Chains A and B, each alone.
Chain A
Amino acid sequence: MIYKLEYDVELINITKKYGNTPVLSNISLSVRNNEFFSILGPSGSGKTTILRIIAGLVRPDDGVVKIKGVDVTSLPPYRRRVGMIFQHLALFPHLTVFENIAYSLRIMKMPENEVRGRVREYLEIVNLPCEVYAGRKINQLSGGQQQRVAIARALVMEPKVLLLDEPLGSLDFKLRQHMMLELKKLQRTVGTTFIYVTHDQEEALIMSDRIAVLNNGRIEQIGSPSEIYGKPKNRFVASFIGEANFITGKLIDDEVFVSSFGYVKIPKVNTVLNGRAVLSIRPERIRVGLSLEGLDNIYKGEVEEKIYTGSYVYVKVKVSADTCIKCLVPVTDVENLGLDEGMNVAIGWNKQDIIGIFED
């Protein structure tokens, strides 16, 4: 029987404490071959610790780390052949661009003419012409160029997996947008598995094949970007990724929810949650008009606030004394309808627009 290796990195029941503070509690996850896998979570959720455990820089208290099917839990980092891009890149300031990239190859005692070829090859992969940049010192490079050197330095040793610890955090908005797409393309080109840690949901959604959402040292959900965004498993995931309205109320039936502003028709829930529940819906799913028809749920309300964001406007509609619903409306619609604060409007959605009903 031929055993086909499906996973590049497996974490099995990883637990880590710093002193008495648990950082990771019983984490298990498997990263597939050639996958762009993101670990997304707020700061302090333990995401960097996961990365450091995979790299071997931190020893877990309990659990097993496997890379390409081999248990590496007790191997030091320099025997793991795992590439890592550090948050502040950690390029060697005393070495040139060439020497930085050649570092791992020279450690391996690769013949010098081969080293030269490999460094040139990887400089080209990250779009830095060798003739121009090879001889430069690190402090003669811009932030974006340093990023590329760090990537080339990690990839040149052909690592089993590449770990990235929020590498885009220090770049300005435009450059970050650009690097995101480039990283994604790069991952496709080299075919190496990338594990990317970030607190930025946009980065995770744009680049990843799959995302693990981490909170307080626990995995809340693992799934594709559209699953995470469209079918969040719990309230944390729904609130951490994207904008969402949370409407508190009661389930009185497996298809009817009652809120402070009336009944809401919902997709059939399997388990009848008795008592209080929270219903979640994304602002862009809510339609706003002077009057609406043909939707499962329609309510009347008053525009309380408008927040301009560019091509879209967040419109807060007050539907009951204590409930405002946030709707995302294209600027053109706002202009056509003449929406303004204090106006009476109708809002509505279909029951399949609801992304989840969670315990309160």
Chain B
Amino acid sequence: MGFLKIEMGILKHTWIRKASLYILIPSLSFLAIFFYTPFIIVLLYSIGVIGRDGVISLNPTFNYFIEALNPLYLRVILNSLYLAALTTISCLIIAYPAAYYIALKTSYRLRSLLIVAVVLPYWISFLLRTYALMTILSSLNMLFTYQAVMIGMIYDYLPFMILPLYVNLEKLDKSLLEASYTLGASPIKTFFKVTLPLSIQGIVAGCILVFVPATGEFIVPYMLGGISVTTIGTLTWDLFLKFHNWWRGAALSIIYIFIVLAILIVYVRKIGGVEL
């Protein structure tokens, strides 16, 4: 968003700045109606302001948060974070060589073909693909295991890692690699001293794109993990739709949002200098 800052600087003293606020109206009003309003409703549920049968009571309570922070749920939260982290790291390890190859080692024609191949599965509905995976995994006798969930997660999130990495590596100035060679660095050393550090923004972007939705994922663990894997996603689903305990479910969702937010902030700070 660095460029946005600059743009705003230019716009500061001109009429364009005013006009630019108007173009935000459609997206802001959409978000207000369909994102912030439900979010506030969830918040109101979590503190008990909205009670049974939609009765409004003006006695907010933190009981639902205290309920949601029981050791069992905390273990589920940790499990989800662990699963998401494992998915993210696996995707990174698998995606980096693929993105590197597509971006730096292919002809222009082959490159666009391979990128299409990466996004091709997304032309089919997510649910359908997960069902397809179920068939394969059950014929391998792997269905309803942790491995099955991992395979499903990696399969679903891999393109979200490949694409930002590809975009980043594709921009890499190849003369930097050549400069490194002439300075005595072998291709392997060049990779660790030039290519990898310069692709850190792509890595950060890819990891966020995979990690954040992966923590909340519930379809894959539900369908491929069955009862063997419980994540924050499946737990919230159950609290709302099986146990009809919307208040505890809402509190759990809010806790989840803040945990993910905290992790992201720490992550971005640690990497340092990365603008988002």
Contacts and interface: CB of A to CB of B under 8 A. Distances in A.
Interface of A: 55-57, 76-78, 80-84, 86-88, 90-94, 103-104, 107-108, 153-154, 157
Given A78-B186, A86-B175, A107-B189, A92 B181 contact: no
B118 interface: no
A28 to B, nearest CB: 23
Nearest to B196: A94
A266 to B, nearest CB: 49
A41 to B, nearest CB: 21
A57 B181 contact: yes
Contacts, number: 62
Interface in B168-195: 173, 175-176, 178-186, 189, 193-194
27 contacts: A55-B182, A56-B181, A57-B178, A57-B181, A57-B182, A76-B181, A77-B182, A78-B181, A78-B183, A78-B186, A81-B184, A83-B182, A84-B179, A84-B182, A86-B175, A86-B178, A86-B179, A90-B178, A90-B179, A92-B194, A103-B185, A107-B185, A107-B189, A153-B183, A154-B182, A154-B183, A157-B183
A80 B181 CA distance: 9
Contacts of B197: 94
Contact of B184 (A57, A92, A94, A108): A108
Nearest to A52: B178
Nearest to A104: B183
Contacts of A82: 182
B254 interface: no
A74 to B, nearest CB: 15
Nearest to B182: A84
B198 interface: yes
Interface of B: 173, 175-176, 178-186, 189, 193-194, 197-198
Nearest to A82: B182
B183 A103 contact: yes
B189 A77 contact: no
A83 B180 CA distance: 10
Interface centre among B178, B179, B185, B194 (most CB of A within 10 A): B179
B175 A88 contact: yes
A105 to B, nearest CB: 9
A108 B184 CA distance: 8
Given A94-B197, A94-B198, A103 B182 contact: no
A59 to B, nearest CB: 13
A220 B121 CA distance: 58
A82 B186 CA distance: 14
Given A56-B182, A94-B198, 20 more contacts: A55-B178, A76-B181, A78-B182, A78-B183, A78-B186, A81-B184, A83-B182, A84-B178, A86-B175, A86-B178, A86-B179, A92-B176, A92-B194, A94-B197, A103-B183, A104-B183, A104-B185, A107-B184, A108-B184, A153-B183
Closest 3 CB pairs of A and B: A90-B179, A104-B183, A77-B181
Contacts of B180: 92, 103
Nearest to B177: A90
A291 B28 CA distance: 84
Nearest to B186: A78
B178 A78 contact: no
Contacts of A153: 183
Contacts of B175: 86-88, 90
A93 B184 contact: no
A173 B173 CA distance: 27
Nearest to A137: B273
Nearest to A83: B182
A107 B183 contact: yes
The winner among A87, A94, A108, A157 for most chain B CB atoms within 10 A is A94
A90 B174 CA distance: 9
Nearest to B190: A78
Q: Which of B182, B185, B194 has the most CB of A within 10 A?
A: B182
A78 B173 contact: no
Contacts of A84: 178-179, 182
A228 to B, nearest CB: 29
B37 to A, nearest CB: 43
A57 to B, nearest CB: 5
Nearest to A163: B182
A104 B194 contact: no
A104 B185 CA distance: 7
A72 to B, nearest CB: 13
A94 B199 CA distance: 10
Contacts of B176: 90, 92
Query: Which of A56, A86, A91 has the most chain B CB within a 10 Å cutoff?
Result: A86
A90 B198 CA distance: 13
B84 to A, nearest CB: 28
Nearest to A94: B197
Contacts of B193: 103
A127 B245 CA distance: 73
Contacts of A57: 178, 181-182
B91 to A, nearest CB: 24
Contacts of A91: 179
Given A57-B178, A90-B178, A92-B176, A78 B185 contact: yes
Contacts of A90: 173, 175-176, 178-179
A221 B185 CA distance: 36
Contacts of A94: 194, 197-198
A134 B181 CA distance: 23
B171 to A, nearest CB: 11
A78 B193 CA distance: 14
A242 B157 CA distance: 62
Contacts of B183: 78, 103-104, 107, 153-154, 157
A76 B194 CA distance: 18
Contacts of B178: 55, 57, 77, 84, 86, 90
